[in-house]
């Protein structure tokens, strides 16, 4: 355990391999292919954003990496270990409302350590420490419903990162927040990610968000989702809010907009979630 | 009413109106029975006035019979309802979490559910040699179905993203049952417990009227057969108080066990 923590700080764990992966969802007659033939690798410590139109299967891919959905073809692996089911090695943050409503903030965050068998005082100390890191000192005794949406997502991130996962999977984590809170949370995330370097896949349909956060942006097509572009971003770190108005940024934004501009599909596709069809 | 509403505190004027409303009911009762009011389809000729009922209540309060009647009723509810709570929550969890258990247990339960508990009385007298056991059984049957159904509902409707989150945080199946499913289903379970408590008392009083020798339902029915009409109403009031007390106990328990739920706003 100790070896792994020091490893992750030197960014040598968290390599993700997606090898020729296809995922089908739905039962018998209603079955359909959500993603087709995805093939890419993510280096340890990278922050990759996956962009794509609604229903393109980007959340499906995330759910499969978390171990909540089986792949139909191909192989998923993290650090050469095949993904066979959920594990605290692969933390997932949903869009909203997945904190345990009956647990106070501190106990929500301490859930992972509790499952690992840590004693009460030890896990509370660990929880308080990471809550301080995400800027929630003083809210340890609140229930989730007493927090704003942005604060709830900070707790979500803390609850996952306390397990020091190999990879952090985020499914439109700021999608339900207002614009102002959202851009603040993007900076919070980058700050935390710098302090606890973790390979991160961040699913979003907000192009600016992807460009602001990522080292690399993977653009997916409409269903069945395939990779149509894999862009390494030239922006340095730390990122500043002014980045979004720089010429390079605007140029990339226009390029991705063109990629995502599709002829309208005959009927709107059902939204997909990391747990399958909604 | 033009008083302003303040959160949590009800102004004294509203309490005054509430109190007067009860006083008015008692006064109307006194008038109706005192004047032997008869409207043809309903008559108050045999209804004792509140003053007489009060006297009977005082007599009962002072006699050792009260403890025996209330004690045996409470014991039956405790035993029958208690068994229904254990079995109902257990079955509810099994049915809500496992498809096999649901296929095995649900069909017979669905068949038995529409039968009102009171309809079980004759059969239960035949099945159980002691009338004590048959009354406990009726109380049990009355509470069982609402508890099972509400537990199933609560367990089956847990947000699956919560369960998925717990699994991704390293939760084992046993831990998920304890830390996620149980608290998640708790509000629904408590609703089932409250409904079950109501039907439990209802069934018990009915059963006691038919086959009891002690108990508050028996006391009420005995008062009727002995023509102690004031005692009928005393019995009714005691039954009401016991029901009120037990539902208060459940509400308090609910608030204590589920502090994350906002307290209901007084209206």
State the total domains in chain A: 2
Whether A258 is covered by a domain: the verdict is: yes
Same domain assignment for residues A59 and A171? yes
Contact B169 A160 (CB under 8 A): yes
Residues of chain A neighbouring B161 (CB-CB closer than 8 A) = 94, 97-98, 273, 275
Q: What is the pLDDT of residues B93-136, one digit of tens each?
A: 999 999 999 999 999 999 999 999 889 988 998 999 898 999 99
Report, as an integer, the average pLDDT of A81-89: 94
CA–CA min distance A70, chain B (Å)? 14
Same-domain check for residues A51 and A185: yes
B144 pLDDT tier (thresholds 50, 70, 90): very high
> Residue A39 sits in a domain of what CATH number?
3.40.50.300
Whether residues A7 and A109 share a domain: the answer is no
Q: What is the mean pLDDT of residues A209-237?
A: 93
Looking at the structure, tell me whether residues A103 and A231 fall in a common domain: no
Cβ atoms B204, B217 nearer than 8 A: yes
Domain B50-257: give its CATH superfamily.
MetI-like (1.10.3720.10)
Q: Which of A164, A195, A217 is the last residue of a domain?
A: A164
- A133 lies in a domain? yes
User: Residue B260's pLDDT band (boundaries 50, 70, 90)?
Assistant: confident
A3, pLDDT greater than 60? no
**Alpha carbons B199 and B140: distance in angstroms, whole number:** 9
User: Could you tell me if residue B8 is left (phi over 0), alpha (psi between -120 and 50 degrees) or otherwise beta?
Assistant: left
Every domain of chain B and the residues it spans: 1-47, 50-257
3-state helix, strand, coil in chain B (%, to 5): 80, 0, 20
Residues 6+ apart with CB under 8 A from B184: A102, B154, B155, B158, B159, B162
pTM: 0.83
Q: What is the mean pLDDT of residues A237-252?
A: 92
Enumerate residues 224 to 263 of chain B having a beta carbon within 8 A of any beta carbon in chain A: 258, 260, 262
Smallest CA–CA distance, residue A102 to chain B, in Å, is 5
Q: Which of B188, B192, B189, B187 is nearest to B260 (CA)?
A: B187
Answer with the one of A131, A164, A197 that is the final residue of a domain: A164
pLDDT band at residue A248 using 50, 70 and 90 as cut-offs: very high
**Stretch 154-213 of chain B: residues touching chain A, C-beta under 8 Å:** 159-162, 164-172, 175, 179-180, 183-184, 186
Query: Are A236 and A247 in contact, with CB atoms under 8 Å apart?
Result: no
Q: Which domain holds residue A117?
A: 99-164
Joined together, the tokens standing for residue A237 give 């770190």
Residues of A in contact with B260 (CB under 8 A): 101-103, 143, 145
Please state, in angstroms and rounded to a whole number, the distance separating the CA atoms of residues A140 and A120.
14
Measured CA to CA, the distance from residue A2 to residue A7 in angstroms comes to 8
Among A92, A101, A160, beta carbon nearest to B260: A101
Predicted confidence band of residue A271 (pLDDT cuts 50, 70, 90) = confident
Query: Residue A208 and residue A211: Cα distance in Å, rounded?
Result: 5
* Residue A15 backbone phi and psi in degrees, to 5: -80, 125
Cα–Cα–Cα angle for A64, B163, B194, rounded to 5 degrees: 155
Q: Cβ contacts (< 8 Å) between A115 and chain B: which residues?
A: 169-172, 175
Q: Which of B154, B161, B167, B169 to mutate to test the interface with A (most CBs of A within 10 A)?
A: B169
């Amino acid at each position: 355990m100790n070896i792994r923590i020091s490893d992750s700080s030197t960014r040598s764990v968290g390599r993700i391999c997606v090898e020729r992966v296809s995922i089908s969802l739905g039962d018998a007659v209603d079955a359909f292919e959500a993603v087709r033939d995805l093939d890419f690798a993510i280096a340890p410590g990278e922050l990759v954003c996956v962009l794509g139109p609604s229903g393109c299967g980007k959340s499906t891919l995330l759910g499969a990496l978390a171990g909540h959905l089986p792949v139909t073809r191909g192989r998923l692996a993290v650090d050469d270990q095949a993904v066979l089911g959920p594990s605290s090695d692969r933390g997932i943050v949903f869009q909203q409302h997945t904190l345990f409503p009956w647990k106070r903030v501190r106990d929500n965050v301490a859930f992972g350590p509790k499952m690992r068998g840590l004693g009460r005082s030890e896990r509370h100390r660990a929880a308080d420490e990471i809550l301080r890191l995400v800027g929630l000192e003083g809210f340890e005794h609140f229930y989730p419903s007493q927090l704003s949406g942005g604060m709830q997502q900070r707790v979500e991130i803390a609850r996952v990162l306390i397990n020091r996962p190999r990879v952090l999977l985020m499914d439109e984590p700021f999608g339900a927040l207002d614009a102002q809170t959202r851009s603040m949370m993007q900076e919070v995330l980058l700050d935390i990610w710098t302090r606890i370097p973790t390979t991160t896949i961040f699913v979003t349909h907000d192009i600016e968000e992807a460009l602001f956060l990522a080292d690399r942006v993977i653009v997916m097509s409409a269903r069945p989702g395939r990779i149509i572009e894999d862009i390494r971003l030239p922006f340095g770190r730390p990122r500043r809010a002014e980045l979004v108005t720089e010429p390079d940024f605007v140029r990339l934004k226009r390029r991705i907009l063109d990629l995502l501009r599709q002829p309208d599909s005959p009927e709107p596709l059902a939204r997909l979630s990391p747990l399958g069809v909604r | 009413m033009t008083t302003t509403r303040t959160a949590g505190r009800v102004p004294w004027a509203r309490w005054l109106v509430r109190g007067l409303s009860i006083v008015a009911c008692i006064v109307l009762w006194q008038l109706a029975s005192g004047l032997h009011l008869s409207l043809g389809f309903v008559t108050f000729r045999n209804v004792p006035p509140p003053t007489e009922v009060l006297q009977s209540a005082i007599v009962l309060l002072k006699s050792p019979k009260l403890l025996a009647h209330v004690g045996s009723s409470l014991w039956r509810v405790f035993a029958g309802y208690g068994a229904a709570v254990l079995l109902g929550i257990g079955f509810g969890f099994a049915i809500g979490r496992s498809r096999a258990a649901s296929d095995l247990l649900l069909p017979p339960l669905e068949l038995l559910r529409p039968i009102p508990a009171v309809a079980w009385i004759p059969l239960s007298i035949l099945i159980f040699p002691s009338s004590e056991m048959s009354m406990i059984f009726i109380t049990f049957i009355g509470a069982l179905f609402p508890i099972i159904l509400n537990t199933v509902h609560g367990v089956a409707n847990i947000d699956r993203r919560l369960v998925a989150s717990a699994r991704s945080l390293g939760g084992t199946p046993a831990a998920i049952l304890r830390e996620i499913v149980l608290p998640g289903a708790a509000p629904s379970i408590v609703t089932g417990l409250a409904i079950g408590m109501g039907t439990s008392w209802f069934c018990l009083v009915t059963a006691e009227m038919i086959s009891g020798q002690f108990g508050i339902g028996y006391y009420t029915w005995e008062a009727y057969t002995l023509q102690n009409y004031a005692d009928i109403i005393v019995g009714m009031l005691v039954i009401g108080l016991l029901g009120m007390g037990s539902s208060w106990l459940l509400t308090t328990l609910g608030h204590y066990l589920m502090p994350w739920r906002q307290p209901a706003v007084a209206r």
